[in-house]
Chain A
Amino acid sequence: KAGVTQTPRYLIKTRGQQVTLSCSPISGHRSVSWYQQTPGQGLQFLFEYFSETQRNKGNFPGRFSGRQFSNSRSEMNVSTLELGDSALYLCASSTGTGTYEQYFGPGTRLTVT
């Protein structure tokens, strides 16, 4: 079974721009969660999508948004980029029901200059 894929793997953007990251979950998984990892704050939960609906949200500003498509693929968008948005963005897929293990992708490394 193919694992979680994220594209692009690396991205450099300028402050004020916006960016869209993509995540393809494991086949059959309906839940996609997004996390931000920085050296200072560690791994922080952004939001979770299940069956095209946002089911849970962390404490991030509205500049961070996401969506999920009918094939469970998910995108995350960050608008008006700030230097502090430089981070590794990870997505994780799971079945989304019961107590479930999350399987993480390799991440997208975003650098904002």
Chain B
Amino acid sequence: DAKTTQPTSMDCAEGRAANLPCNHSTISGNEYVYWYRQIHSQGPQYIIHGLKNNETNEMASLIITEDRKSSTLILPHATLRDTAVYYCIPLAYSGAGSYQLTFGKGTKLSVIP
């Protein structure tokens, strides 16, 4: 499974863009990059995923470098409710149609008023 490296913590001013980096230099060609977040005392929440192209949805944008060794999750206008731990997860295929999410330690994002 690909290993990931994320900053332990980051701060972002409310209303500004939050850019969360992730290094996944050992990712294999068919592994997607998934992003989840976990707000305190809640279950993780799916944000976005991508393979090699940049992706955007109503929550965030995902920028994946051309060599696929790193990616950046962008929250365009961070609010206090975006304070959470953000996980970057290469999705590993476990055979028989099964995928397994392997959570690391993630980045604790604090949005500051």
Interface residues of A (CB under 8 A from B): 4, 33, 35, 42-45, 48, 50, 55-56, 58, 90, 92, 96-97, 99-107
Contacts and interface: CB of A to CB of B under 8 A. Distances in A.
Interface in B34-56: 34, 38, 42-46, 49
A90 B95 CA distance: 22
Main secondary structure of the interface of A (DSSP, over half): strand
Contacts of A43: 38, 44, 87, 101, 103
Contacts of B16: none
B104 interface: yes
Given A42-B105, A99-B32, A99-B91, A56 B46 contact: no
Identify whether the interface residues of B are mostly helix, strand, loop, or mixed: loop
B100 interface: yes
Interface string B15-26: 000000000000
B97 interface: yes
A33 B98 CA distance: 10
Interface of B: 32, 34, 38, 42-46, 49, 87, 91, 94-105
Given A92-B44, A104-B43, 11 more contacts: A42-B103, A43-B38, A56-B95, A56-B96, A56-B98, A56-B100, A96-B97, A99-B99, A102-B44, A106-B43, A107-B42
A42 to B, nearest CB: 6
Contacts of B91: 99
Nearest to A96: B97
List of 9 A-B pairs having minimum Cβ-Cβ separation, nearest first: A104-B43, A43-B103, A56-B98, A101-B46, A55-B98, A56-B94, A104-B44, A90-B43, A45-B100
A33 B95 CA distance: 15
Contacts of B43: 4, 90, 92, 104-107
B97 A97 contact: yes
B39 to A, nearest CB: 11
A11 B89 CA distance: 30
